[in-house]
Amino acid sequence: MNPTKAIFARINGLLTGLQGSGRSVMTMVALVAVTVLAFAGTVAAIELGSSGGPSATPSLVAAAPVQTQAETAAPTETPTETPTETPTETTTDAPTPELTPSPTDGPPTPRPTRIRCTPTLGAPPAASDTPTPGGSAGPTPTPAEPTATPTPTPTPTTAPADPTATPTPTAAAVAPPAVLPALAAPQTAAPVRVAAAAAFTLCVPILEYHRIIPISEAGGSLPGLVMPPDNFSAQLDALKAAGWHAITLGSLGDDLIAHRAPSARSFVISIDDGWNDSYKYALPILQRHGYVATFFVISSRIGGAGFLSASQIQALRAAGNEIGNHTVSHVGLSYQTVANMKYEVNTASDQIAAVTGVRPRSFAYPMGAISNLAMAAVAACPGMEIAVTEYRAIGETDVGRFDAPRLEIGPYVSPQSLMIMLAG
């Protein structure tokens, strides 16, 4: 029988017996109370026993290791996933893009060689005994012993190929233009390029400016291209005091072709883009110092708002300055087709000659965008003798004169800093 039912039956029996025995009511109440207390204790004991009591704890402890084993087993799945992802990452190598894309049509031209020298320490290097096409047949007298940094002896056999140029064909397949001497083997685009032993070298600094104008009048021009007139004048003051004198870029091209050294401490001032502040601000400062400059003009902008007019260009040239070619529309030549390269270079020379009466002898690559094909297009332009880019160095060679470096001079360059730059 159920214990609870047994207890109730017993209590019921006691009450019936008390009623039959004639006991007092108080005695009956006391007996019922005792019976109820006993009943409560019995029920509590029964419930405790039925719930399991302390035996539940081992079941929980036993369950814990099951969870721990599941967690420790999880990492065994990781190694199976890792090998499947690793090959995917290693096989997806992105190709390295070419920084200077070149047109696919037209023959390549070997890149010239460059030198780096210190022009302020002595006279230019000696001329080579190798005659230049169109130049003198005999060797040029050797000038004073140069104190410039000696160039290492280059490898006489082969040189590394230009990373952006197509393979160079044999000399029989590509004949250089008559105006351009035979080019040396292509070199890599290292910070310092070593000239071939037979190259005639000069160490003439070519300074690159853009706008000579007060900042308040420069409009939206890039701040790094705006040179306040006072700063420009202070720089020329320092150059004048140090004994420097200016020549035009066309004159430097003549010297390279003739293997002729200009006088010591010669330098070139070049001013790009043909802004009319070249006439308003730069020309008076140049005249005050007795200096000349080469002004590179974008031919389609002649007479446009903010740019040099035909009469201003003529006045600049009458003052002894040179007008150079900066293409028709200021495009990067290395990104053009060969036909468009020729149009940009030749048409610009034609349009400039219509204003000045002479064809330009010098060229500046817009944005410094240069390639083998671009150099060939410039070299083939009638009357062209030299071209400059934005490679920041000093030093020119006869074979590399269509890739001559310049020093970009911004408003942050103090006269003292300029002197340090020229000292190498």
Q: What is the pLDDT of residues 309-361, one digit of tens each?
A: 999 999 999 999 999 999 999 999 999 999 999 999 999 999 999 999 999 99
* pLDDT surpasses 80 at 265: yes
Q: Is the pLDDT of residue 170 over 60?
A: no
Euclidean distance between CA atoms 350 and 328, whole angstroms? 10
CB 292 within 8 A of CB 286: yes
Report the range of poorest mean pLDDT among 189-203, 211-225, 239-253.
Answer: 189-203
Output the CA–CA distances (angstroms, integers) from residue 96 to 92, 163, 328, 331, in the order listed: 12, 11, 32, 25
Written as six digits, the tokens of 25 are 């009511």
Strand partners, 229: none
In which element (H, E) is residue 268 found? strand 266-271
Q: Within 13 A of 110's CA, how many CA atoms are on the CB side?
A: 25
Closest by Cα among 296, 247, 304 to 272:
296
Query: Domain 119-162+174-422: which CATH class?
Result: alpha beta
Contact yes or no for 292/267 (Cβ under 8 A): no
Strand partners, 57: none
Q: What is residue 216's DSSP assignment?
A: G
Cβ(388)–Cβ(406) below 8 Å: yes
Measured CA to CA, the distance from residue 280 to residue 21 in angstroms comes to 141
The answer to whether residue 423 scores a pLDDT higher than 90 is no
